Amino acid sequence: MAISFWYPEIVRLAVLLILFAPACHWVLPLHGPPEDRSAPPIDGPRRDGDADSGDAAADHAGPGDGPGLVEGAVPDEQIPPIDKGGPSGEQAPPPTACSGSFVAFPFAPPTSSSINGVSCTSAKSIFAVGDTGLLLHFDGKWVQDNSTGFAYTVEDVWSPTAGGTTAYAVGAHESVLQHTGSAWSEIQNKASSISVLYGIWGSGPTDIWAVGSVGVYAHYNGSTWTGKTLGVTGYDLQAVWGDLAGNLYVAATLGMTGKVLKWDGSNPTPKDAFVTTFRPMSIWGSGPKDIWAVGSKGKAAHFDGLAWQEQPAAALTLNAIWGSGPQQIFAVGDSGEAVCYDGTGWKPVPTPANTPVLYDVSGCGTTVLAVGGQGTVLVYAP
């Protein structure tokens, strides 16, 4: 009984020792029930059936809600060092790439709202976004920025520079928000638009792409955002990734199925790269011969440079995918499920008990973070 009583404290102490031991080479680091994005809400939860959407007031009100900058009640402690990769955060994985587990991030964010997207450029620069205009930055402590007045759902975030403090976020009304220095600002908000930008990715600070509902997309060339509609009638564009050779791959959904589109960014009509039997919700690749899409039914689709092939990866819907390289790829999804591909197959990754839906997973260097409902932030511990 004594061991059982102290077990949670022992686990927490072990995690903190891992995170803060100076000599430690550590790994820190972006959905509930199946969702329907065919008619996404503009100012409500990100998806129908969100696991933490039972009480709207409770879901969307957090300790940091209110005007101006709000700091999380977290001490400004030393953040552990990590290896810094390039803008994509790719680097060789450790030998035991998938043998760890996701644990609670030791610094709780100042919110109970759903966190829909996460991106990190270093251990001291983590961005997270979510419902009701949630905009967070972690630099040793969480800071919530309400100064923009943006009160709608923010879906995804991406940062172009390793170790930097610049990030771009997208969401309802085809909105684009930018973080520079220590604050967020609203760059674009088409108030009359019912479209939502769901995903964002860039090859660098002068080539950023965002995709969304009913085929809308936007591109940033370093000075101007330009929005258009892709020639894929009826399809919602959930996520985008590029192979750095000018080819863009887009996860597109229609009803309970979808496809992966291959696009050069200029032709308004992309090619069908692969028609899936599931709803692809996220896409990522380590290179042009290693591209993955994941989505409903726990399925994944893989491109090896020659052909696409579907395979089972999890039990439930997977909402996001990210990897440090071809032998360490994480995917997260409904009911807190997480899996990892180690180059040979998909393996389950433990998450804390009662973890809600996970919406995103992302990383930088050896840092891997997963976020989701009820203000959840998890970190991968090998």
In this structure, the number of other CB atoms found within 10 A of the CB of residue 166 comes to 15
> Containing H/E element for 368?
strand 367-372
pLDDT in tens, 306-331: 999 999 999 999 999 999 999 999 99
Quote helix, strand, coil % in the chain, to nearest 5: 10, 45, 45
Task: Look over the chain and give the mean of its residue pLDDT values, rounded to a whole number.
Answer: 81
User: What residue type is 293 in one-letter code?
Assistant: A
**Cβ-count burial of 188 within 10 angstroms (0-12 exposed, 13-18 middle, 19+ buried)?**
middle
pLDDT in tens, 148-180: 999 999 999 999 877 789 999 999 999 999 999
pLDDT in tens, 278-312: 999 999 999 999 999 999 999 999 999 999 999 99
Q: How many residues does the chain have?
A: 382
pLDDT of 269: 82
Closest CA to 95 of 29, 25, 28, 17: 25
**Cβ-count burial of 266 within 10 angstroms (0-12 exposed, 13-18 middle, 19+ buried)?**
exposed
| Rounded (5°) CA angle 181-187-189 | 145
Tell me the H-state helices in the chain: 2-20, 56-60
DSSP, collapsed to helix, strand or coil, labels residue 308 as: strand
For 212, half-sphere exposure in the C-beta direction (CA atoms, 13 angstrom radius) is 30
Contact 201, 209 (CB under 8 A): yes
> What DSSP assignment string belongs to 135-200?
EEEESSSEEEE-TT---S-EEEEE--STT-S-EEEEEBTTEEEEEETTEEEEEE--TT---BEEEE
Strand-pair partners of 168 = 158, 178
**Cβ-count burial of 241 within 10 angstroms (0-12 exposed, 13-18 middle, 19+ buried)?**
buried
Query: To which CATH superfamily is domain 2-381 assigned?
Result: YVTN repeat-like/Quinoprotein amine dehydrogenase (2.130.10.10)
Query: Taking the alpha carbons of 369, 322, 137, 49 in that order, is the dihedral positive or negative?
Result: negative
On the question of pLDDT at 54 being above 60, the answer is: no
Residue 55's pLDDT band (cuts 50, 70, 90): very low
Strand-pair partners of 20 = none
**Per the confidence metrics, is the pTM higher than 0.75?**
yes
In this structure, the number of other CB atoms found within 10 A of the CB of residue 342 comes to 17
